Chain A
Amino acid sequence: MEFNDDAVKMQDDVGKPWRYEEDGCTVTRTCVWSAPGCHPVGCGLKVYVKDGEVVKIEGDENHPVTKGRLCVRCLAMKDFLYHPDRIIYPMKRDRADRGKDKWERCSWDEAIAIIKKNYDEVKEKYGVQSMVAFMGTGRQGNIGATGAHRVLGTPNGCYPLSGFSCYGPRVSITMDVIGSSYPEIDYAGGLPGGYEDPAFTVPEIIIQWGKEPIYSSPDGFFGHAIIDLMKRGAKLINVNPRITWTGSRAIENVRLRPGTDAALAMAMLNVIIEEKLYDAEFVDLWCYGFEQLAERVKEMPPSKAAEICEVPEEQIIRVARLYANAKPASIAWGVSIDQSPNGSQAGQAILALMSITGNMDVPGGQVLVDMTAGDGGMQEDIDSVGWPEMKQELRDTIIGREEFPFYTGGLKMSQADRQLDALETGKPYGIHLTWLGETNIIAPTCSAQPKRWYDALRKVDFNFATDTWMTPTIQGCCDVVLPLASSLEMETIVPTHYGGSPNYVGALNKCVKCGEAVPEWELYRILGLALNPEAWENREKDFKEFYDIAMMRAYEFDYDELQEKVVIQRDVSYRKYETGKLRPDGAKGFNTSTGRIQLYSPMFEAVGENPLPYYFEAPTTPISTPELAKEYPFTMMSGAREIGYFHSEGRQIEKLRDLCPDPLVELNPKDAETYGIKAGDWVRIENPWGLAFLKAKVTPIIKEGYIQAQHGWWFPEEDAEAPHLYGVWKSNINTLIPHSRMGKLGFGAPFRTTLVKISKAHEDDLVEADRFGLEGEDGKPLVHTDNFFRIDDPTLDPTAR
């Protein structure tokens, strides 16, 4: 291809204002955060609008981190905005027609009036605690907290994923151990010079622990920063049962048995302490409980961990030395740790690794948020909107409070598993109204035992949803739907890590309007004024003021300034334990009860948990349940992300579906041969709890005896009505995850350690999934019974008897 050299001299849009005109289009520079679903990374976009319609989307090269780069979900966003299946008007349906595709468009006024009528009736008859606001993941509005506490006025906001197995455990544990939110790896996100900034140091080693961030950009972290750092010399160590793509470029792959992370981390601590590879000065000045920790990890020599984790002893020693000797080094903590019932202890031990090696809050290590100058208190501000005003006796009714005080007290949300128990059994009290806030509970994403959730939700007096798409959950269970706006239809802010990490804050600048969809925070105000006016009247005059008060009061800039600048970096500073910036009171040290990093946790002790890390076997493994393993010899892992989808979202969009058209289960070539399964065959996966069908992907990246199943699948092109519900049961791997197998703090679930058996399936078998677990052999609906299982009392497990 030939060009005239002068004609193709490259220019860019660096320095352009937040809004400008170009070729008959109005171009708006903005950042994005759900919808389309994503965590608060806030990638930069240039949105070209003509005659009120988006005609083109480009990555914004002004963004200090993403620099014009964009993932497929934003590149295909026009198809999201204008897809015929998107919900852009309120809809209603008669309660008797749940599961039937009999939706009718209605006005906002009518929809709100229906919700209010039901709300008032339930409130009067059963009290506000009989209502629950459920939330999904990664969304802007915190329906589980603000929606529950301030809009409905109930203490029961709930993230329904069994054991809150995503990020919540991580934040709760780190708040206790280091007095901060999750300490993200340092990728120079807040430094004006980026990776080349003199304040930054490229880490010598990055451990990706149960994490492949390049495809998920998790929690607010731009995943491809890993690639940027690799190019600049960082070496990777992957801790992962599978070989991932980055694993093919890593210097070590620690292929541990899933769920054994705590044993590995303790053994690494054992080596580092034994060989005196830790930062003695930092430990002496800033850590609490080092001697007790040292004593505890003596119980886990590398030889013992090698047996538990099924990795070579020498590799554990080698990796511990590599990590401890690298200056600096960082650890990226993945959701697979949050998803383990033993994850609280694994997390505690990983935080100890970061701390005793002197990598906490140093350039190229883990970065902590400045508690005195911005984001520090923000998450708490949002979470607590409505909570402080709630009467104590009402707060005390939050589901799961007595059993799980650390969970319910810290997150101010009802415990997920106990919430299902309450729905099923009416104990401690019945649930009569729910709000499904952007959560597709019954798709294999946001719950364990989705068929039980489905049965339970269908019996609730009134359910309404707020969402961007029709989902199997709404189709099966809801009576009213309110339409939510996408990122391009609203004004709000996106702080990385929900404000829990420094780096940067972005503005979402409104570009277009679609139908009658409204942004989350605006929706809170509309609903709040109707349902719970005393909490909303005479407060913020509009939603913009709500941001300024609730979300931005700690920043030195306001919403208008952010809108104009589009992104404001948070000016990362380091070693803040020396400068008093980690504590709201300005004292030196960490924001914990001892002022130090609590390697020994007094809080854990106070709530009945062991104050030091320890290992316990996951609830369903060949070791903990050997009888079960005889019949179900495979260990199923789940949760790995595909870049085109955000969990259960995106399968209607042709360009994204093309990247991953079918639900896939990975299995080792030897296992495939043994079971006569070829690539592309349907595989039947079953265990005592559930049944799912996925297509085989035969690959050596997974060890023999393990399978990795994709989550999130449903088929928008299939029959909408119950019981099929867009094929939501066909590939529903969460039906195989037992309910209520959390750790003592109420966190974790066996999403990566479930025993199953596999066989080759035929297309005709697939319909079975619509009946299994929903009706008995007599064709009558199954009745689900109590299942108050606790990890420390396996005799309560009805299925293990």
Chain B
Amino acid sequence: MSEYGLLIDYEYCTNCHSCEVACEETHDFPPEARGIRVFEDGPFEYADGKWNWNYVPVPSDRCDLCARRVMNHQQPACVHHCLAQVMQFGRIDDLVEEFKKKPRQVLWMPN
């Protein structure tokens, strides 16, 4: 047995919403109480002309990492459908190694 989680490279999250709608479809969750939501930071401009505009998908308390799917050897619905391919499902220990490789990522370990 190992702890599993999601590694999200938010440098490339485009707010396409596919994770949210894939989650609603897979679990029959209503939009207001789905298993993942994309949060927005920005947009705002720094004095040097650079823009801060990030989207970060955050699993909700009801995210079970698509237990039924993964036990059936399928990726979680959000990971499978992410248009920008910024999400990875895996063992926390493995994801930590990936996490070290580049900045602008977040690592989630849901309930």
**Contact partner of A214 among B4, B14, B71, B85, CB < 8 A?**
B14
- The residues of A that contact B43 with a CB separation of less than 8 Å are 243, 245, 248, 699-701
Given A5-B91, A248-B51, A700-B43, are A69 and B18 neighbors across the interface (CB < 8 Å)?
yes
Number of interface residues of A (CB under 8 A): 47
Please state if A227 and B12 are interface contacts (CB–CB under 8 Å): yes
**A67 CB to nearest chain B CB (Å):** 8
A59 to B83 alpha-carbon distance, docked (Å): 10
Interface string of A42-80 (1 = CB under 8 A from B): 000000000000001111010000001111100110100
- The residues of A that contact B51 with a CB separation of less than 8 Å are 243, 247-248
Q: List 15 A-B contacts (CB under 8 A).
A: A1-B5, A3-B4, A5-B1, A10-B73, A68-B80, A72-B18, A214-B14, A214-B84, A224-B14, A248-B52, A643-B17, A655-B24, A655-B25, A659-B21, A701-B43
List residues of A (70-95) whose CB comes within 8 Å of B's CBs.
70-72, 75-76, 78
User: Chain B residues in contact with chain A, CB under 8 A?
Assistant: 1-5, 11-12, 14-18, 20-22, 24-25, 31-32, 42-45, 51-53, 55, 64-65, 67, 70-71, 73-75, 80-85, 89, 91, 109-111
**Contact partner of B80 among A5, A59, A249, A654, CB < 8 A?**
A59
A11 to B84 alpha-carbon distance, docked (Å): 21
Known: A223-B83, A655-B21. 19 other contacts (CB 8 A): A2-B1, A3-B2, A3-B67, A5-B2, A5-B91, A68-B80, A68-B81, A69-B82, A69-B83, A71-B16, A72-B20, A76-B21, A76-B25, A214-B84, A243-B53, A245-B15, A247-B51, A248-B42, A655-B24
Interface string of A215-256 (1 = CB under 8 A from B): 100000001100110110000000000010111110000000
Total residue contacts A-B, CB cutoff 8 A: 126
Q: Closest residue of chain B to A253, judged by CB? A: B51
A674 interface residue per 8 A CB criterion: no
Please state if B73 and A9 are interface contacts (CB–CB under 8 Å): yes
Given A75-B22, A78-B25, A655-B24, are A8 and B71 neighbors across the interface (CB < 8 Å)?
yes
Q: Closest residue of chain A to B11, judged by CB? A: A249
**Contact partner of A72 among B14, B21, B73, B89, CB < 8 A?**
B21
- The residues of B that contact A203 with a CB separation of less than 8 Å are none
Please state if B17 and A3 are interface contacts (CB–CB under 8 Å): no
Given A70-B22, A75-B22, are A245 and B83 neighbors across the interface (CB < 8 Å)?
no
Q: Closest residue of chain A to B63, judged by CB? A: A1
A538 interface residue per 8 A CB criterion: no
List residues of A (612-645) whose CB comes within 8 Å of B's CBs.
643-644
Please state if B2 and A245 are interface contacts (CB–CB under 8 Å): no
Please state if A245 and B82 are interface contacts (CB–CB under 8 Å): no
Given A1-B64, A1-B67, A75-B25, are A69 and B85 neighbors across the interface (CB < 8 Å)?
yes
Given A2-B1, A2-B3, A8-B4, are A654 and B14 neighbors across the interface (CB < 8 Å)?
no
A70 to B4 alpha-carbon distance, docked (Å): 24
**Contact partner of A655 among B14, B31, B55, B65, CB < 8 A?**
B31
Please state if A1 and B18 are interface contacts (CB–CB under 8 Å): no
- The residues of B that contact A1 with a CB separation of less than 8 Å are 3-5, 64-65, 67, 109-111
Please state if B31 and A654 are interface contacts (CB–CB under 8 Å): yes
A285 interface residue per 8 A CB criterion: no
A62 to B11 alpha-carbon distance, docked (Å): 26
A658 interface residue per 8 A CB criterion: yes
Please state if B21 and A58 are interface contacts (CB–CB under 8 Å): no
A248 to B20 alpha-carbon distance, docked (Å): 23
- The residues of B that contact A699 with a CB separation of less than 8 Å are 43
- The residues of A that contact B22 with a CB separation of less than 8 Å are 70, 75
Given A224-B14, A248-B53, are A700 and B4 neighbors across the interface (CB < 8 Å)?
no
**Contact partner of B84 among A5, A70, A227, CB < 8 A?**
A227
- The residues of A that contact B82 with a CB separation of less than 8 Å are 69
Given A2-B2, A78-B25, A243-B51, are A215 and B16 neighbors across the interface (CB < 8 Å)?
yes
- The residues of A that contact B73 with a CB separation of less than 8 Å are 8-11
A615 to B90 alpha-carbon distance, docked (Å): 55
